Structure 1
Amino acid sequence: MRIGFDLRTLQGHSRYRGIGRNVAMILKNISKIDKKNTYIFYLFEGLDNPLIDLELSKSFIYELRYVKEKGLPKKRVIGILFDEFKPVDATKDQLDVFYQPDVSYGIPKSVKSVLVFYDLIPLYFWHKNKFRRNLILYYKDEAINRLFRRRYLRTIRNYKKADRIISISGFSKKDLIKNFPEIDENKVSVVYLASDSVFSKKPISQKKYPHDFILYVGGADQRKNIDGLIKIFYKLKHTHKKLKLILVGKEFNVEKELRHYPWFHEIKDDMHFKDIIFMEYVDDTELIGLYSKAKVFVFASKYEGFGLPILEAMSIGVPVVAFNNSSIPEVAGSSAILCDNNNQFVAAVSELIDSSAKRKEIVEKGVEQSKKFDWLNTAKETLKIIEEEAMK
């Protein structure tokens, strides 16, 4: 069987985000279990080959196909007016099926397709509210945001063309069908993600961290509710004077990123702002060290397709407090404290800091919950769906 696999997402900005990490882990684990099929990997010409870092099984069979980047001007507005990427031309490769882990790269014609669906974040949170003193720049941003949403709606229609869809959670599947009822829900299968096995290892980082801190790992976009999390932290400071908040993610650069968010200018003058530590991208060794030393992992997101950092924290043995929405209850189960408002969140974090018994209870539940999600199982289920579609 010849399986097409679009790997271009591992060469773009998504490489170090959730999609990139998921694609890398699925491929790495498929290479361990599939010794019979031939994979045709599609990559951009002239860019780094991401396969070099993946340590695929030596018995894994694959071929490489290189495609040229679409020749559009690099200006953001032009890229929004048109689709950023065109589907690969697979007509000469005699594929039985094509696996597309990132819908923004499109699907080729005349071949059965399996697409991965993550979430509808750009549909709900398309309005990127930036801090602008200049009114002209404000309206320019508004126009660009609307164009971005239109392009996203064009891209999302690829799911209607797919022969099979893999959704990363039951919540995401329901959300897709609710918003696009013309998609047959029988062709949508749920296959859960997992946390990297590296997060079940003992920490080896020698770096020193504050004695008392709560931790957040992820993005800083609107749905992540960072302003809400910081307000929660400020309330916690009333009773926990020495507590720090560490925010980890590539967007937590004050000069390059955060100063563009309106909420940043609302919270930066507070007397407790000095107790917030902003950290950009850190490697896995340091991230494990941070997780292992944190008093609580705090996740105030308003919407998640899955919520991978929750599993990472649980597998290391950090108690989790999160808001009760979207896919979060599905992933966390009863092994985290899920809240409906800020006051509940403050109370939950306080209890976990102050009560060793409650902390021990949530940590033990979390470790067991994290074991239910395994990348090898994810790879097996993904491969089964791909093969089923190819043989139809």
Structure 2
Amino acid sequence: MRLVYDNIIFKLQENRPAGISAYWRQLIDRLAKSDVELRLFGEPTKNIFDAKEWSQEHESSINYKIRRYLPFLDRLPDGSIFHSSYYRVSLQKNIKNVVTVHDFTHEYYRSGMAKMVHHWQKGFAIKNADAIICISENTKKDLIKFFPKTDPNKLHVIYHGVSDSYFPAYQDAPDKFKDLGKYVLFVGGRGGYKNFDKVVSALSATSGYRLVIAGGGQLSDEEKNKLDLDLGDRYSIFPIVDEADLNFLYGGAFAFVYPSAYEGFGMPILEAMRAGCPVIASNNSSIPEVAGDAATLLEKPAPELINSALKKLENKNFRGDLIRRGLEQSQNFSWDKCFRQTNSLYMELSS
């Protein structure tokens, strides 16, 4: 079986590494160690998930900002399977295309040209795919909603996993994390539907917690102004964190709050659970699939509901039970399982 990956996602998420980069790297690591004939096309990046250890071929001299919207350009051996990291396909005959659909945030929350171009590109990839991986049942449902003519036999739900880098850490935290006190953790992107502002507003109404922000890049002027006004000096930010640092931050947090209005999967939920951190999240989209009964789920991301959930966690027995259930729930998801199911799909296409 000949398998071809384009690694363009590492460039697209170079300055803000996120879940798609993590997913792609987990597949690469397992495929590169298997007996699959794997070719990687990409270029070196600063993305912490970049596959620098593995040999990558250069795809084209066309700048990635343009190339990201184009079909894969290099000639491939007949019978190859092409799987793009971000909504591209090969139009070459005798090539099978696999597409992973992660979410529909552009369709729900973007507007104008950005929404139109992304929707067109995603639709073109879906139309020309021989197999389509959806990372949750909710993503599959959204795909059918936005692209109702898609052949349902092409759709395969394969859940993400959670890295073994996350575990209850009993050793001392690095010095940079030692003086954070009692804190609530917010991880990842902060724009719009992520409802970061609701967490800030919630903590501004209580003096009991510090807010620690991990990932998502540097604060915007607007974010910094709100934090300074609402929390004063009761916040810390670590704009880019690797998995080891994030594991310590999860492990030291009083709670991880994830009030997003929409997720295609919700990987940070599992990371927090695996690290032994209780989770407060929104009860929408894919989040109930991932969280099960092992998180406090909010019907809406209102500051008063966030504070009510934090107050419940002050009960040590309740908090301990939620941590225990989270550890159990996180065991239902693994990158090895994701790889096995993905590889089985490749084998099915190649037969």
User: Is the aligned partner of 1:297 residue 2:246?
Assistant: no
Structure 1 SS opposite 2:193? helix
Matches within 5 A, 1:1-392: 1-13=1-13, 16-32=17-33, 34-35=34-35, 37-44=36-43, 50-53=50-53, 64-71=56-63, 84-103=68-87, 105-110=88-93, 111-127=95-111, 146-157=112-123, 158-200=125-167, 202=169, 204=171, 205-207=173-175, 208-235=178-205, 237=206, 241-251=207-217, 253-254=218-219, 258-259=220-221, 261=222, 265=225, 268-270=228-230, 272-341=231-300, 342=302, 343-352=304-313, 354-391=314-351
Contact 2:73-2:90 at 8 Å conserved across structures: no
Structure 1 SS opposite 2:98? strand
Contact 2:166-2:275 at 8 Å conserved across structures: yes
Structure 2 SS opposite 1:286? helix
Q: How far did residue 40 of structure 1 move?
A: 2.1
- What do residues 145-168 of structure 1 show as CA deviations (whole Å, max 9, x unaligned)? x22122112211111111110011
CA distance in 2, matches of 1:300, 1:118: 19
Per the normalisation by structure 2, the TM-score is 0.89
Q: How far did residue 176 of structure 1 move?
A: 0.7
RMSD of aligned Cα (Å): 2.3
Q: How far did residue 265 of structure 1 move?
A: 4.8
Counterpart residue type for residue 4 of structure 2: G
Q: How far did residue 340 of structure 1 move?
A: 0.9
Structure 1 SS opposite 2:281? strand
Contact 1:106-1:155 at 8 Å conserved across structures: no
Counterpart residue type for residue 243 of structure 2: D
Counterpart residue type for residue 13 of structure 1: Q
- What do residues 335-387 of structure 1 show as CA deviations (whole Å, max 9, x unaligned)? 001011323322111110x2000001100000000011011111000000111
Q: How far did residue 83 of structure 1 move?
A: 6.6
Q: How far did residue 264 of structure 1 move?
A: 5.8
CA distance in 2, matches of 1:199, 1:183: 37
CA distance in 1, matches of 2:335, 2:312: 33
Judged with a 3 Å threshold, the aligned counterparts in structure 2 of structure 1 residues 296 and 180 are, in CA distance, closer, same or farther, namely: same
Q: How far did residue 268 of structure 1 move?
A: 4.0
Judged with a 3 Å threshold, the aligned counterparts in structure 2 of structure 1 residues 206 and 115 are, in CA distance, closer, same or farther, namely: same
- What do residues 6-64 of structure 1 show as CA deviations (whole Å, max 9, x unaligned)? 223224425822111110012212334x32x31122224x768943346xxxxxxxx85
Structure 2 SS opposite 1:246? strand
- What do residues 135-189 of structure 1 show as CA deviations (whole Å, max 9, x unaligned)? xxxxxxxxxxx22122112211111111110011111010111111011122110
Range that drifts further, 289-298 or 277-286: 277-286
Judged with a 3 Å threshold, the aligned counterparts in structure 2 of structure 1 residues 283 and 84 are, in CA distance, closer, same or farther, namely: closer
Q: How far did residue 202 of structure 1 move?
A: 2.6
Range that drifts further, 273-282 or 208-217: 273-282
Per the normalisation by structure 1, the TM-score is 0.80
Counterpart residue type for residue 100 of structure 2: V
Counterpart residue type for residue 181 of structure 1: P
Contact 1:216-1:248 at 8 Å conserved across structures: yes
- What do residues 68-101 of structure 1 show as CA deviations (whole Å, max 9, x unaligned)? 24258xxxxxx6xx77442223434234321223
Judged with a 3 Å threshold, the aligned counterparts in structure 2 of structure 1 residues 178 and 355 are, in CA distance, closer, same or farther, namely: same
Contact 2:227-2:235 at 8 Å conserved across structures: no
CA distance in 1, matches of 2:134, 2:204: 37
Judged with a 3 Å threshold, the aligned counterparts in structure 2 of structure 1 residues 383 and 154 are, in CA distance, closer, same or farther, namely: same
Identity percentage over the alignment?
Answer: 27
Counterpart residue type for residue 333 of structure 1: G
Range that drifts further, 84-93 or 223-232: 84-93
CA distance in 1, matches of 2:158, 2:309: 31
Q: How far did residue 305 of structure 1 move?
A: 0.4
Question: What stretches of structure 1 of length at least 5 have no aligned partner?
Answer: 55-62, 73-78, 128-145
CA distance in 1, matches of 2:63, 2:285: 38
Q: How far did residue 201 of structure 1 move?
A: 5.8
- What do residues 187-221 of structure 1 show as CA deviations (whole Å, max 9, x unaligned)? 11010111110102635433213221111111111
Structure with bigger gyration radius: 1
Structure 2 SS opposite 1:380? helix
- What do residues 99-134 of structure 1 show as CA deviations (whole Å, max 9, x unaligned)? 22311x44343211111110011111114xxxxxxx
Range that drifts further, 113-122 or 3-12: 3-12
Question: What stretches of structure 2 of length at least 5 have no aligned partner?
Answer: none
Judged with a 3 Å threshold, the aligned counterparts in structure 2 of structure 1 residues 267 and 213 are, in CA distance, closer, same or farther, namely: closer
Range that drifts further, 168-177 or 284-293: 284-293
